[in-house]
Amino acid sequence: MTGKTIKIKTFNPPAGARGENGPDFVGNLRKGELRGIIKINESLCEGCDTCSKVCPSNAIIGGIGAKHRIDDQKCLSCGQCLIACPFNAVEQMSFVSEVEAMLADPNNIVVAHPAPAVRVAIAEEFGADIGSLSTDQLMGALEKCGFKTYDVNSSADQTIMEEGTEFVRKVQYWVLGQRGPELEKAAHHPLPHFTSCCPAWIRNCETFHADMIPHLSTAKSPMQMGGALAKTWAAEFLYKCDPRKVKVVGVMPCTAKLLEASRPEFTQAHEYAVATGKIPADSASYPDIDCVLTVRDLAELFRRKGIDPTKLPKTRERKDLDVYTGTATIFGASGGVMEAALRTAYRVLVGKELEKADIIPVRGYDNSVVEATIPLPLPGLDKPFDLKVCVVNGANQALNKVLDEVRSNPGRWHFIEVMNCPGGCVNGGGQPVHNVGAAWLKPLFPLSTKI
Protein backbone atom coordinates (compact mmCIF):
# COMPACT_ATOMS: atom_id res chain seq x y z
CA MET A 1 0.00 0.00 0.00
CA THR A 2 1.31 3.44 -0.88
CA GLY A 3 0.07 6.84 0.10
CA LYS A 4 1.26 10.40 0.37
CA THR A 5 2.36 11.29 3.86
CA ILE A 6 1.06 14.38 5.59
CA LYS A 7 3.49 17.04 6.75
CA ILE A 8 2.82 17.44 10.45
CA LYS A 9 3.26 20.97 11.75
CA THR A 10 6.18 21.39 14.12
CA PHE A 11 7.60 24.15 16.31
CA ASN A 12 11.00 24.81 17.81
CA PRO A 13 11.34 24.44 21.59
CA PRO A 14 10.18 27.75 23.07
CA ALA A 15 12.11 29.57 25.77
CA GLY A 16 11.48 27.92 29.11
CA ALA A 17 10.33 24.63 27.58
CA ARG A 18 12.49 22.79 30.10
CA GLY A 19 11.43 24.92 33.05
CA GLU A 20 15.11 25.70 33.56
CA ASN A 21 14.44 29.05 35.21
CA GLY A 22 11.55 27.87 37.35
CA PRO A 23 11.11 25.83 40.53
CA ASP A 24 12.32 22.26 40.92
CA PHE A 25 8.78 21.00 40.29
CA VAL A 26 5.77 22.35 38.46
CA GLY A 27 3.14 19.80 39.34
CA ASN A 28 4.63 16.47 38.27
CA LEU A 29 7.15 17.98 35.84
CA ARG A 30 10.69 18.47 37.10
CA LYS A 31 13.12 21.22 36.20
CA GLY A 32 14.81 20.15 32.98
CA GLU A 33 11.95 18.03 31.67
CA LEU A 34 10.36 19.16 28.44
CA ARG A 35 6.77 20.27 28.63
CA GLY A 36 4.36 21.06 25.81
CA ILE A 37 5.94 18.54 23.40
CA ILE A 38 2.51 17.99 21.82
CA LYS A 39 0.10 20.90 21.46
CA ILE A 40 -3.18 21.60 19.71
CA ASN A 41 -3.36 24.56 17.35
CA GLU A 42 -6.71 25.95 18.42
CA SER A 43 -7.09 27.96 15.22
CA LEU A 44 -7.26 24.65 13.30
CA CYS A 45 -9.18 22.60 15.86
CA GLU A 46 -12.74 21.74 14.77
CA GLY A 47 -13.77 20.27 18.12
CA CYS A 48 -14.42 16.82 16.58
CA ASP A 49 -13.13 15.13 19.78
CA THR A 50 -11.16 12.46 17.90
CA CYS A 51 -8.09 13.33 19.97
CA SER A 52 -9.95 12.72 23.23
CA LYS A 53 -11.03 9.28 22.10
CA VAL A 54 -7.45 8.10 21.56
CA CYS A 55 -5.79 9.87 24.50
CA PRO A 56 -4.74 7.23 27.07
CA SER A 57 -4.56 9.67 29.98
CA ASN A 58 -7.59 11.96 29.51
CA ALA A 59 -5.23 14.88 28.94
CA ILE A 60 -7.41 16.60 26.33
CA ILE A 61 -9.52 19.49 27.61
CA GLY A 62 -12.63 20.48 25.64
CA GLY A 63 -15.82 18.77 24.49
CA ILE A 64 -17.39 18.24 21.08
CA GLY A 65 -17.63 21.53 19.19
CA ALA A 66 -15.20 23.34 21.51
CA LYS A 67 -11.59 24.23 20.91
CA HIS A 68 -9.37 21.60 22.52
CA ARG A 69 -6.12 21.95 24.43
CA ILE A 70 -3.75 19.62 26.28
CA ASP A 71 -3.13 19.43 30.02
CA ASP A 72 0.66 19.02 30.28
CA GLN A 73 0.36 17.51 33.76
CA LYS A 74 -1.59 14.56 32.37
CA CYS A 75 -0.07 14.33 28.89
CA LEU A 76 2.19 11.33 28.22
CA SER A 77 3.60 12.98 25.05
CA CYS A 78 2.70 9.79 23.17
CA GLY A 79 1.37 11.67 20.12
CA GLN A 80 -1.60 9.37 19.47
CA CYS A 81 -3.80 12.48 19.25
CA LEU A 82 -1.45 13.84 16.59
CA ILE A 83 -1.63 10.88 14.23
CA ALA A 84 -5.40 10.54 14.70
CA CYS A 85 -6.42 14.19 14.17
CA PRO A 86 -8.30 14.44 10.84
CA PHE A 87 -7.69 18.20 10.60
CA ASN A 88 -3.91 18.22 11.14
CA ALA A 89 -4.44 20.51 14.11
CA VAL A 90 -1.99 18.81 16.49
CA GLU A 91 1.63 19.95 16.39
CA GLN A 92 4.90 18.54 17.69
CA MET A 93 8.02 20.11 19.17
CA SER A 94 10.99 19.51 16.87
CA PHE A 95 14.78 19.62 17.23
CA VAL A 96 15.69 19.49 13.54
CA SER A 97 17.29 22.93 13.57
CA GLU A 98 19.25 22.08 16.72
CA VAL A 99 20.59 18.91 15.11
CA GLU A 100 21.57 20.87 11.99
CA ALA A 101 23.62 23.16 14.19
CA MET A 102 25.28 20.18 15.90
CA LEU A 103 26.25 18.71 12.53
CA ALA A 104 27.62 22.04 11.34
CA ASP A 105 30.02 22.34 14.29
CA PRO A 106 33.33 20.64 13.35
CA ASN A 107 34.16 20.13 17.03
CA ASN A 108 31.26 17.71 17.46
CA ILE A 109 31.06 13.98 16.84
CA VAL A 110 27.33 13.57 16.24
CA VAL A 111 25.98 10.06 16.69
CA ALA A 112 22.60 9.02 15.25
CA HIS A 113 20.87 6.34 17.32
CA PRO A 114 17.93 4.99 15.23
CA ALA A 115 15.31 2.63 16.70
CA PRO A 116 14.17 -0.61 15.00
CA ALA A 117 10.82 0.82 13.83
CA VAL A 118 12.55 3.66 11.94
CA ARG A 119 13.91 1.32 9.26
CA VAL A 120 10.40 0.26 8.25
CA ALA A 121 9.00 3.80 8.18
CA ILE A 122 11.51 6.33 6.88
CA ALA A 123 11.13 5.27 3.22
CA GLU A 124 7.41 6.08 3.34
CA GLU A 125 8.32 9.74 3.67
CA PHE A 126 9.98 9.47 0.26
CA GLY A 127 7.15 7.71 -1.58
CA ALA A 128 7.97 4.05 -0.89
CA ASP A 129 5.35 1.45 -0.01
CA ILE A 130 4.15 1.44 3.59
CA GLY A 131 6.40 -0.81 5.66
CA SER A 132 9.30 -0.84 3.19
CA LEU A 133 12.45 -2.13 4.90
CA SER A 134 15.31 0.31 4.36
CA THR A 135 17.91 -0.58 7.01
CA ASP A 136 21.11 0.01 5.05
CA GLN A 137 19.68 2.92 3.08
CA LEU A 138 18.77 4.59 6.36
CA MET A 139 22.26 4.13 7.74
CA GLY A 140 23.81 5.33 4.49
CA ALA A 141 21.65 8.45 4.54
CA LEU A 142 22.62 9.17 8.15
CA GLU A 143 26.31 8.90 7.27
CA LYS A 144 25.80 11.14 4.25
CA CYS A 145 24.29 13.69 6.62
CA GLY A 146 27.46 13.65 8.70
CA PHE A 147 26.42 11.33 11.53
CA LYS A 148 28.29 8.46 13.08
CA THR A 149 25.82 5.60 13.43
CA TYR A 150 24.89 3.51 16.45
CA ASP A 151 21.97 1.17 15.82
CA VAL A 152 19.50 0.95 18.71
CA ASN A 153 19.27 -2.75 17.89
CA SER A 154 22.73 -3.05 19.41
CA SER A 155 21.78 -1.33 22.67
CA ALA A 156 18.47 -3.26 22.68
CA ASP A 157 20.52 -6.45 22.91
CA GLN A 158 22.13 -4.99 26.01
CA THR A 159 18.71 -4.06 27.39
CA ILE A 160 17.59 -7.65 27.03
CA MET A 161 20.65 -8.89 28.87
CA GLU A 162 19.92 -6.46 31.70
CA GLU A 163 16.15 -6.90 31.85
CA GLY A 164 16.24 -10.64 31.20
CA THR A 165 18.75 -11.11 34.00
CA GLU A 166 16.71 -8.91 36.32
CA PHE A 167 13.63 -11.02 35.67
CA VAL A 168 15.63 -14.21 36.27
CA ARG A 169 16.69 -12.85 39.66
CA LYS A 170 13.06 -12.17 40.55
CA VAL A 171 12.06 -15.71 39.59
CA GLN A 172 14.92 -17.11 41.65
CA TYR A 173 13.89 -15.03 44.67
CA TRP A 174 10.10 -15.05 44.52
CA VAL A 175 9.39 -18.41 42.84
CA LEU A 176 12.31 -20.68 43.68
CA GLY A 177 12.91 -19.23 47.16
CA GLN A 178 16.62 -18.73 46.59
CA ARG A 179 18.56 -16.21 48.68
CA GLY A 180 21.94 -14.55 48.42
CA PRO A 181 23.68 -11.18 48.02
CA GLU A 182 23.00 -11.09 44.26
CA LEU A 183 19.27 -11.48 44.91
CA GLU A 184 18.86 -8.75 47.55
CA LYS A 185 17.64 -6.24 44.98
CA ALA A 186 14.87 -8.61 43.88
CA ALA A 187 13.47 -8.58 47.42
CA HIS A 188 12.34 -4.98 46.86
CA HIS A 189 10.89 -5.54 43.38
CA PRO A 190 8.06 -8.07 43.48
CA LEU A 191 6.40 -9.99 40.67
CA PRO A 192 4.76 -9.41 38.29
CA HIS A 193 7.66 -7.81 36.51
CA PHE A 194 6.76 -4.92 34.14
CA THR A 195 8.88 -3.82 31.18
CA SER A 196 10.34 -0.31 31.20
CA CYS A 197 11.22 0.43 27.54
CA CYS A 198 8.16 2.55 26.72
CA PRO A 199 8.49 6.12 28.08
CA ALA A 200 4.78 6.88 27.74
CA TRP A 201 3.97 3.81 29.86
CA ILE A 202 6.57 4.87 32.45
CA ARG A 203 5.08 8.36 32.74
CA ASN A 204 1.60 6.84 32.88
CA CYS A 205 2.70 4.53 35.67
CA GLU A 206 4.42 7.26 37.65
CA THR A 207 1.50 9.70 37.28
CA PHE A 208 -1.57 7.49 37.54
CA HIS A 209 -0.47 4.06 38.84
CA ALA A 210 2.27 4.76 41.36
CA ASP A 211 1.51 1.55 43.25
CA MET A 212 3.00 -0.34 40.28
CA ILE A 213 6.39 1.41 40.42
CA PRO A 214 8.06 -1.33 42.54
CA HIS A 215 7.14 -3.83 39.81
CA LEU A 216 8.86 -1.89 37.01
CA SER A 217 12.10 -3.13 35.55
CA THR A 218 15.00 -0.96 36.63
CA ALA A 219 16.62 -1.32 33.19
CA LYS A 220 16.86 1.84 31.12
CA SER A 221 15.40 1.88 27.63
CA PRO A 222 17.69 0.91 24.72
CA MET A 223 17.94 4.57 23.69
CA GLN A 224 19.17 5.66 27.11
CA MET A 225 21.60 2.76 27.40
CA GLY A 226 22.99 3.64 24.00
CA GLY A 227 23.40 7.30 24.86
CA ALA A 228 25.46 6.51 27.93
CA LEU A 229 27.58 3.94 26.08
CA ALA A 230 28.26 6.28 23.16
CA LYS A 231 29.60 8.92 25.54
CA THR A 232 31.68 6.49 27.63
CA TRP A 233 32.88 3.32 25.90
CA ALA A 234 32.62 4.61 22.33
CA ALA A 235 34.14 7.99 23.19
CA GLU A 236 37.15 6.26 24.72
CA PHE A 237 37.71 3.30 22.41
CA LEU A 238 36.12 4.18 19.05
CA TYR A 239 36.13 7.94 18.70
CA LYS A 240 39.12 8.42 21.04
CA CYS A 241 37.97 11.87 22.07
CA ASP A 242 36.86 13.98 24.99
CA PRO A 243 33.37 12.64 25.82
CA ARG A 244 32.02 16.19 25.81
CA LYS A 245 32.50 16.27 22.04
CA VAL A 246 30.08 13.39 21.50
CA LYS A 247 26.49 14.43 20.79
CA VAL A 248 23.87 11.68 20.60
CA VAL A 249 20.64 12.08 18.65
CA GLY A 250 17.95 9.49 19.20
CA VAL A 251 15.90 8.78 16.07
CA MET A 252 12.59 7.39 17.24
CA PRO A 253 9.09 6.43 16.10
CA CYS A 254 7.93 7.96 19.38
CA THR A 255 7.28 11.53 20.53
CA ALA A 256 7.42 10.46 24.19
CA LYS A 257 11.13 9.80 23.68
CA LEU A 258 11.63 13.57 23.59
CA LEU A 259 10.39 13.68 27.17
CA GLU A 260 12.42 10.64 28.21
CA ALA A 261 15.66 12.14 26.92
CA SER A 262 15.06 15.28 28.99
CA ARG A 263 14.63 13.45 32.31
CA PRO A 264 17.26 14.96 34.64
CA GLU A 265 18.51 11.62 35.99
CA PHE A 266 19.88 10.59 32.60
CA THR A 267 23.32 12.19 32.95
CA GLN A 268 25.22 9.05 33.86
CA ALA A 269 27.86 9.39 31.14
CA HIS A 270 28.82 12.75 32.64
CA GLU A 271 28.89 11.29 36.15
CA TYR A 272 31.12 8.45 34.96
CA ALA A 273 33.50 10.83 33.18
CA VAL A 274 33.88 12.92 36.34
CA ALA A 275 34.26 9.88 38.60
CA THR A 276 36.99 8.40 36.40
CA GLY A 277 38.85 11.68 36.00
CA LYS A 278 38.26 11.97 32.26
CA ILE A 279 36.88 15.48 32.67
CA PRO A 280 37.21 18.03 35.50
CA ALA A 281 34.82 17.67 38.43
CA ASP A 282 33.42 21.17 37.85
CA SER A 283 32.53 20.47 34.20
CA ALA A 284 29.00 21.36 33.17
CA SER A 285 26.65 18.40 33.23
CA TYR A 286 25.51 16.98 29.91
CA PRO A 287 22.69 14.54 29.07
CA ASP A 288 23.19 10.99 27.80
CA ILE A 289 20.90 11.81 24.85
CA ASP A 290 21.22 15.36 23.56
CA CYS A 291 17.95 15.41 21.63
CA VAL A 292 15.48 13.21 19.76
CA LEU A 293 14.20 13.32 16.20
CA THR A 294 11.02 11.52 15.19
CA VAL A 295 10.90 9.65 11.87
CA ARG A 296 9.13 12.67 10.38
CA ASP A 297 11.83 14.98 11.77
CA LEU A 298 14.57 12.86 10.25
CA ALA A 299 12.82 12.99 6.87
CA GLU A 300 12.76 16.78 7.15
CA LEU A 301 16.47 16.82 7.96
CA PHE A 302 17.18 14.61 4.93
CA ARG A 303 15.15 16.94 2.71
CA ARG A 304 17.06 19.97 3.95
CA LYS A 305 20.28 18.14 3.10
CA GLY A 306 18.99 17.00 -0.30
CA ILE A 307 19.21 13.32 0.66
CA ASP A 308 16.71 10.67 -0.47
CA PRO A 309 17.48 7.37 1.32
CA THR A 310 15.51 5.36 -1.24
CA LYS A 311 18.09 6.35 -3.88
CA LEU A 312 21.02 4.99 -1.86
CA PRO A 313 22.53 1.45 -1.98
CA LYS A 314 20.46 -1.28 -0.33
CA THR A 315 23.49 -3.06 1.10
CA ARG A 316 26.14 -1.82 3.49
CA GLU A 317 28.77 -3.39 5.71
CA ARG A 318 27.83 -3.23 9.37
CA LYS A 319 30.22 -1.27 11.56
CA ASP A 320 31.23 -1.42 15.22
CA LEU A 321 27.99 -0.17 16.77
CA ASP A 322 25.69 -1.58 14.10
CA VAL A 323 26.21 -5.25 15.03
CA TYR A 324 23.28 -6.92 16.72
CA THR A 325 21.16 -10.05 16.97
CA GLY A 326 17.77 -10.62 15.40
CA THR A 327 16.23 -10.48 18.86
CA ALA A 328 16.55 -6.70 19.03
CA THR A 329 14.75 -6.17 15.74
CA ILE A 330 11.40 -7.32 17.13
CA PHE A 331 11.34 -4.61 19.83
CA GLY A 332 9.31 -2.36 17.54
CA ALA A 333 6.17 -4.54 17.64
CA SER A 334 4.02 -5.39 20.62
CA GLY A 335 5.33 -8.53 22.32
CA GLY A 336 8.85 -8.09 20.98
CA VAL A 337 10.47 -7.08 24.26
CA MET A 338 8.66 -9.90 26.04
CA GLU A 339 9.73 -12.47 23.45
CA ALA A 340 13.35 -11.35 23.56
CA ALA A 341 13.45 -11.36 27.37
CA LEU A 342 11.86 -14.80 27.56
CA ARG A 343 14.50 -16.26 25.26
CA THR A 344 17.20 -14.90 27.57
CA ALA A 345 15.42 -15.97 30.76
CA TYR A 346 14.86 -19.48 29.40
CA ARG A 347 18.54 -19.85 28.55
CA VAL A 348 19.67 -18.72 32.02
CA LEU A 349 17.05 -20.58 34.08
CA VAL A 350 16.88 -23.83 32.11
CA GLY A 351 20.48 -23.95 30.91
CA LYS A 352 19.80 -24.39 27.21
CA GLU A 353 18.41 -22.47 24.26
CA LEU A 354 14.68 -22.45 23.63
CA GLU A 355 14.03 -25.00 20.88
CA LYS A 356 11.55 -22.75 19.07
CA ALA A 357 12.84 -19.20 19.34
CA ASP A 358 9.62 -17.72 17.90
CA ILE A 359 7.23 -17.40 20.85
CA ILE A 360 4.11 -16.74 18.80
CA PRO A 361 1.59 -16.58 21.70
CA VAL A 362 3.12 -13.39 23.14
CA ARG A 363 2.88 -11.38 19.94
CA GLY A 364 0.20 -8.76 20.49
CA TYR A 365 0.21 -6.68 17.32
CA ASP A 366 -3.41 -7.51 16.44
CA ASN A 367 -4.76 -7.69 19.99
CA SER A 368 -4.58 -5.16 22.78
CA VAL A 369 -4.11 -7.92 25.37
CA VAL A 370 -2.64 -11.39 24.95
CA GLU A 371 -1.52 -13.82 27.60
CA ALA A 372 0.40 -17.05 27.44
CA THR A 373 1.84 -19.79 29.62
CA ILE A 374 5.44 -20.87 28.96
CA PRO A 375 6.47 -24.20 30.59
CA LEU A 376 9.93 -23.94 32.13
CA PRO A 377 11.65 -27.25 33.06
CA LEU A 378 13.55 -25.71 35.95
CA PRO A 379 16.28 -27.70 37.69
CA GLY A 380 15.15 -29.09 41.04
CA LEU A 381 11.42 -29.11 40.24
CA ASP A 382 9.45 -32.30 39.67
CA LYS A 383 7.41 -30.76 36.86
CA PRO A 384 7.78 -27.74 34.58
CA PHE A 385 7.03 -24.36 36.13
CA ASP A 386 4.26 -22.52 34.31
CA LEU A 387 5.54 -19.02 33.59
CA LYS A 388 2.51 -16.81 32.99
CA VAL A 389 2.98 -13.71 30.87
CA CYS A 390 0.83 -10.89 29.53
CA VAL A 391 1.34 -8.39 26.72
CA VAL A 392 -0.74 -5.20 26.53
CA ASN A 393 -0.62 -2.38 23.98
CA GLY A 394 -2.79 0.67 23.47
CA ALA A 395 -2.67 2.10 26.97
CA ASN A 396 -6.35 2.81 27.40
CA GLN A 397 -9.11 0.51 28.67
CA ALA A 398 -6.96 -2.57 28.07
CA LEU A 399 -4.14 -1.40 30.33
CA ASN A 400 -6.53 -0.35 33.09
CA LYS A 401 -8.11 -3.81 33.03
CA VAL A 402 -4.72 -5.48 33.29
CA LEU A 403 -3.62 -3.26 36.19
CA ASP A 404 -6.88 -3.83 38.04
CA GLU A 405 -6.37 -7.57 37.61
CA VAL A 406 -2.83 -7.30 39.01
CA ARG A 407 -4.18 -5.49 42.06
CA SER A 408 -6.90 -8.05 42.73
CA ASN A 409 -5.04 -11.16 41.58
CA PRO A 410 -1.27 -10.46 41.78
CA GLY A 411 -0.36 -14.08 41.06
CA ARG A 412 -2.06 -14.27 37.68
CA TRP A 413 1.03 -13.19 35.71
CA HIS A 414 4.76 -13.18 36.34
CA PHE A 415 5.84 -10.89 33.51
CA ILE A 416 3.93 -8.09 31.74
CA GLU A 417 5.00 -6.06 28.73
CA VAL A 418 3.32 -2.68 28.24
CA MET A 419 3.49 -0.57 25.09
CA ASN A 420 1.48 2.65 25.02
CA CYS A 421 0.78 2.73 21.29
CA PRO A 422 -1.57 0.30 19.52
CA GLY A 423 0.51 -2.52 18.06
CA GLY A 424 3.67 -1.14 19.67
CA CYS A 425 6.33 1.32 18.50
CA VAL A 426 5.52 0.76 14.83
CA ASN A 427 2.40 2.87 15.44
CA GLY A 428 4.16 5.49 17.54
CA GLY A 429 3.33 9.18 17.51
CA GLY A 430 6.50 10.02 15.59
CA GLN A 431 5.79 7.80 12.59
CA PRO A 432 4.73 9.00 9.12
CA VAL A 433 1.09 10.08 8.90
CA HIS A 434 -0.83 9.30 5.72
CA ASN A 435 -3.64 11.27 4.16
CA VAL A 436 -6.24 9.03 5.78
CA GLY A 437 -4.43 9.28 9.11
CA ALA A 438 -2.14 6.40 10.07
CA ALA A 439 -4.43 5.50 12.93
CA TRP A 440 -7.26 4.68 10.53
CA LEU A 441 -5.33 1.88 8.80
CA LYS A 442 -6.31 -0.50 11.61
CA PRO A 443 -8.38 -0.22 14.81
CA LEU A 444 -6.88 2.34 17.18
CA PHE A 445 -7.45 0.08 20.13
CA PRO A 446 -8.10 -3.53 19.03
CA LEU A 447 -11.27 -4.94 20.48
CA SER A 448 -9.81 -8.14 21.94
CA THR A 449 -9.36 -6.94 25.51
CA LYS A 450 -10.62 -10.00 27.34
CA ILE A 451 -8.37 -10.90 30.26
Determine, yes or no, domain membership for 405: yes
Burial class (CB in 10 A: 0-12, 13-18, 19+), 67: middle
Q: pLDDT band at 439, cuts 50/70/90? A: very low
Please compute the mean of the pLDDT values over residues 255-281 and round it to a whole number: 97
Question: Residue 279 pLDDT more than 90?
Answer: yes
Point out the domain boundary residue: 297, 322, 347: 322
> Catalytic residue among 77, 217, 221, 262, which?
217
- Based on the fold, state whether residues 103 and 187 are members of the same structural domain: no
Determine, yes or no, domain membership for 335: yes
pLDDT confidence of residue 224: 97
User: In whole angstroms, what separates CA 167 from the centre of its chain?
Assistant: 19
pLDDT confidence of residue 430: 96
Which helix (DSSP H) or strand (DSSP E) does residue 51 occupy?
A: helix 50-54
Nearest CA among 272, 409, 183 for reference residue 175: 183
Which helix (DSSP H) or strand (DSSP E) does residue 128 occupy?
A: none
DSSP SS3 for 90: strand
Nearest CA among 365, 394, 359, 371 for reference residue 198: 394
Least confident of 67-71, 86-90, 316-320: 316-320
Question: Residue 163 pLDDT more than 90?
Answer: no
> How many Å apart are CA 326 and CA 378, to the nearest integer?
26
- Let me know if 353 is a catalytic residue: no
Question: Residue 444 pLDDT more than 70?
Answer: no
- Based on the fold, state whether residues 335 and 359 are members of the same structural domain: yes
The better pLDDT of the pair 326, 190 is held by 190
> Catalytic residue among 184, 265, 271, 353, which?
265
Q: Are strands 25-26 and 29-30 parallel, antiparallel or unpaired?
A: antiparallel
pLDDT confidence of residue 230: 97
pLDDT confidence of residue 398: 85
**Total residues found in the chain within this entry:** 451
- Based on the fold, state whether residues 286 and 243 are members of the same structural domain: yes
Determine, yes or no, domain membership for 118: yes
Residue 309 identity (one-letter amino acid) = P
> Catalytic residue among 55, 78, 85, 425, which?
425
- Let me know if 417 is a catalytic residue: no
Question: Residue 370 pLDDT more than 90?
Answer: no
CB 354 within 8 Å of CB 347: yes
Point out the domain boundary residue: 284, 306, 322: 322
DSSP SS3 for 448: coil
> Catalytic residue among 257, 262, 339, 417, which?
257
Determine, yes or no, domain membership for 370: yes
pLDDT confidence of residue 438: 43
Point out the domain boundary residue: 322, 352, 375: 322
> How many Å apart are CA 352 and CA 136, to the nearest integer?
33
- Based on the fold, state whether residues 148 and 237 are members of the same structural domain: yes
Q: How many domains does the chain have?
A: 2
pLDDT confidence of residue 194: 96
> How many Å apart are CA 451 and CA 449, to the nearest integer?
6
Region label for 394, one of left (φ > 0), alpha (ψ between -120 and 50) or beta (otherwise): left
Please compute the mean of the pLDDT values over residues 320-337 and round it to a whole number: 72
Query: Mean pLDDT score of the chain, rounded to an integer?
Result: 89
Determine, yes or no, domain membership for 272: yes
Q: pLDDT tens, 110-162? A: 999 999 899 999 999 999 998 888 999 999 999 999 999 999 989 988 888 88
Determine, yes or no, domain membership for 346: yes
Nearest CA among 247, 5, 252 for reference residue 102: 247
CB 63 within 8 Å of CB 49: yes
Q: pLDDT band at 347, cuts 50/70/90? A: confident
- Let me know if 425 is a catalytic residue: yes
- Based on the fold, state whether residues 143 and 236 are members of the same structural domain: yes
- Based on the fold, state whether residues 295 and 415 are members of the same structural domain: no
The better pLDDT of the pair 370, 138 is held by 138
CATH of the domain at 196: 3.40.950.10
> Catalytic residue among 197, 198, 291, 421, which?
197
- Let me know if 143 is a catalytic residue: no
Question: Residue 367 pLDDT more than 70?
Answer: yes
CA 291 → CA 83, 110, 112, 117, 364, distances in Å? 21, 11, 10, 18, 30
Host domain of residue 209: 163-218+326-428+437-441
Determine, yes or no, domain membership for 281: yes
Question: Residue 358 pLDDT more than 70?
Answer: no
Q: Please report, rounded to a whole number, the percentage of residues in the chain having pLDDT higher than 90.
A: 66
Cross-strand partners of 112: 149, 249
- Based on the fold, state whether residues 316 and 332 are members of the same structural domain: no
Q: pLDDT band at 173, cuts 50/70/90? A: very high
pLDDT confidence of residue 158: 87
- Based on the fold, state whether residues 148 and 172 are members of the same structural domain: no
- Based on the fold, state whether residues 288 and 311 are members of the same structural domain: yes
Determine, yes or no, domain membership for 91: no
Please compute the mean of the pLDDT values over residues 291-302 and round it to a whole number: 98
- Based on the fold, state whether residues 258 and 396 are members of the same structural domain: no
The better pLDDT of the pair 44, 335 is held by 44
Give the angle 244-246-249 at the CA atoms, nearest 5°.
130
CB 249 within 8 Å of CB 115: no
- Let me know if 39 is a catalytic residue: no
- Based on the fold, state whether residues 142 and 244 are members of the same structural domain: yes
Q: pLDDT band at 449, cuts 50/70/90? A: very low
pLDDT confidence of residue 1: 47
Please compute the mean of the pLDDT values over residues 409-434 and round it to a whole number: 91
Cross-strand partners of 375: 386
> Catalytic residue among 33, 125, 163, 371, which?
163
Q: pLDDT band at 451, cuts 50/70/90? A: low
Question: Residue 254 pLDDT more than 50?
Answer: yes
- Let me know if 265 is a catalytic residue: yes
Least confident of 36-40, 48-52, 246-250, 378-382: 378-382
Least confident of 315-324, 355-364, 440-449: 440-449
Question: Residue 328 pLDDT more than 80?
Answer: no
CATH of the domain at 122: 3.40.50.1780
> Catalytic residue among 91, 124, 125, 260, which?
260
Buried b (16+ CB within 10 A) or exposed e, 105-142: eeebbbbbbbbbbbbbbbbbbbebebebebbbbbbbbb
- Based on the fold, state whether residues 141 and 244 are members of the same structural domain: yes
